[in-house]
Amino acid sequence: MKPYLSGHYAPHVDEITAYDLVVEGQLPPELSGRLVRNGHNPMPGVTPTHWFKGSGMVHGIRLRDGRAEWYRNRWVRTPALEGAPYMTENGPDLTASTAGTHVIEHAGRLLALCESNLPFELTDELATVGAYDFDGKLTNVMTAHPKHDPVSGELHFFSSSPFPPYLTYHVSSEKGELIHSEEVPGATAALKHDFAVTERYVVFVEGTVTFDHTETSGIPYAWKDEQPARIGVMPRGRGGAAAIRWFDIEPGSMLHAANAYEDTQGRIVLEGPTVDREGFRTSWNWWVGSPDRGAVPNSRSYNRQWVVDLAAGTVCERIVDDLVVEFPTINEDVMGREHRFQYAISFPDERGVGNFGVVKYDRATGGRQVRHVGDGQLPSEAVFVPAEGGTSEDDGYLLTVVSDLHADASSLLVLDASDILRGPVATVHLPRRVVAGIHGSWIADRD
């Protein structure tokens, strides 16, 4: 049995809706909206050749007035769900998407994302509307990790391809209009899954994983020692791509950026978990279900920091912590600005020893809290929601869905982000075990 089709990842065979969920504790009144999560859930009888090839399924939990009104799960109904091929006689079909990596809201549209295709629009109740191309202006793919600027409301994203043009940068206005697109010179076919945005710059990362036409899993990438690892820094704004500068860094692969910002000296500070060659090998073997697949995905994934000095033309980098982590998150109100607090999910070590947990880093003091979950339990990416009237960056809540294999059940934990070791503020009991997913968002009710 493929690891991504068993245990916490065993897929659902149906779609359900449940109302009036049981709540322990008291849901804060500002939690009025929907937690939506996306992940891979192939149709019954389908065994994808790679974890990332599984069809997308979105899970939603509706909270309002201290109640958990509903839970529902829905497949994202793309042509790929019905078996349509990505490559056609006329070239790639950008709508033949798994749409199973992330789900966000922008300009009133709920979008399910997969970096090799167009986004797919969903209704508030998770029904599929169809592929969305920004009124015909987006003619290539969209990253699964766009960045909302908390000041301008703009959505920054990119298109990456193993063939020229390798990298294209896009900006959508707060109202959802695609207002800027430009190719980025100097990019290569290296895998670019995530990126970062500061107040004045866009930061791309090319790791030691690049296009490999011989890879048979359907995801054509592999670790190549000859592929240089680099950070690209370009000014924000029209014409900025022409001024991009590339800086060599140590070999590695970063899937997810926690954040980037400009410090008081004007240097760019970027953080995110990375893996080395062995870490990538064990992760990849898990993703494809190889016999030598490693105990857990993302093993040997350690939080790394890069400090790019544009004036000196240098990069300093270091491992921040020895804890195996992934899925970094922050209070998105400080995205692109210096953040004090950072959250993540901790993993058992590369031997599979230990439990999963939710992590909080205090970057000012160097402190770390780890809230371990029990044996047989797995938390989802922790999504931060600000508290009403909060004055500190960590005044708010972390929302994580914890799957329990022993009980064959899941629950939504609402944790106090100022101290994650306290008992949960509230626990919402879900009607089924929720399949382990990848990324999600809190969609607050509109005024």
Contact between 434 and 411 under an 8 Å Cβ cutoff? The reply is: no
* pLDDT for residue 352: 65
CA dist., res. 284 & res. 222, Å (int): 9
Report which of 338, 342, 322 is spatially closest to residue 398, judged by C-alpha positions: 342
Q: Specify whether domain 3-444 bears CATH 3.40.30.10.
A: no
Helix (H) or strand (E) holding 75: strand 67-75
Contact between 399 and 33 under an 8 Å Cβ cutoff? The reply is: no
> Residue written as tokens 């994302």?
113
CA dist., res. 74 & res. 389, Å (int): 34
With H, G, I as helix, E, B as strand and everything else as coil, classify residue 430.
coil
With H, G, I as helix, E, B as strand and everything else as coil, classify residue 236.
coil
Helix (H) or strand (E) holding 283: helix 277-288
* pLDDT for residue 83: 84
Rounded to the nearest 10°, the torsion over CA 277, 278, 283, 284 is: 60
How far is C-alpha 90 from the geometric centre of its chain's CA atoms?
31
Contact between 341 and 390 under an 8 Å Cβ cutoff? The reply is: no
Residue at 384: amino acid letter: F
CA dist., res. 334 & res. 340, Å (int): 9
Contact between 325 and 247 under an 8 Å Cβ cutoff? The reply is: no
Residue pLDDT tens, the chain, 447 long? 899 999 999 999 999 999 999 999 999 999 999 999 999 999 999 999 999 999 999 999 999 999 999 999 999 999 999 888 887 887 789 999 999 999 999 999 999 999 999 999 999 999 999 999 999 999 999 999 999 999 999 999 999 999 999 999 999 999 999 999 999 999 999 999 999 999 999 999 999 999 999 999 999 999 999 999 999 999 998 899 999 999 999 999 999 999 999 999 999 999 999 999 999 999 999 999 987 766 667 678 999 999 999 999 999 999 999 999 999 999 999 999 999 999 999 998 766 667 899 999 999 999 999 999 999 999 999 999 999 999 999 999 999 999 999 999 999 999 999 999 999 999 999 999 999 999 999 999 986
Residue at 363: amino acid letter: R
Show Cβ contacts of residue 391 under 8 Å, excluding neighbours closer than 6 positions. none
Show Cβ contacts of residue 89 under 8 Å, excluding neighbours closer than 6 positions. none
Q: Which residues pair with 360 in a beta bridge?
A: 343, 369
Q: How many CA atoms lie within 13 A of 198 on its CB side?
A: 21
> Residue written as tokens 């007035």?
65
CA dist., res. 377 & res. 159, Å (int): 35
CA dist., res. 445 & res. 440, Å (int): 16
209-211 vs 178-183, strand pairing mode:
unpaired
Q: Considering just the CA atoms, what is the radius of gyration of the chain in Å? A: 20
Per domain, the residue ranges of the chain are 3-444
* pLDDT for residue 281: 93
Cis peptide before 42 (omega within 30 of 0): no
* pLDDT for residue 92: 84
pTM of the full predicted structure? 0.96
CA dist., res. 289 & res. 5, Å (int): 9
Contact between 414 and 402 under an 8 Å Cβ cutoff? The reply is: no
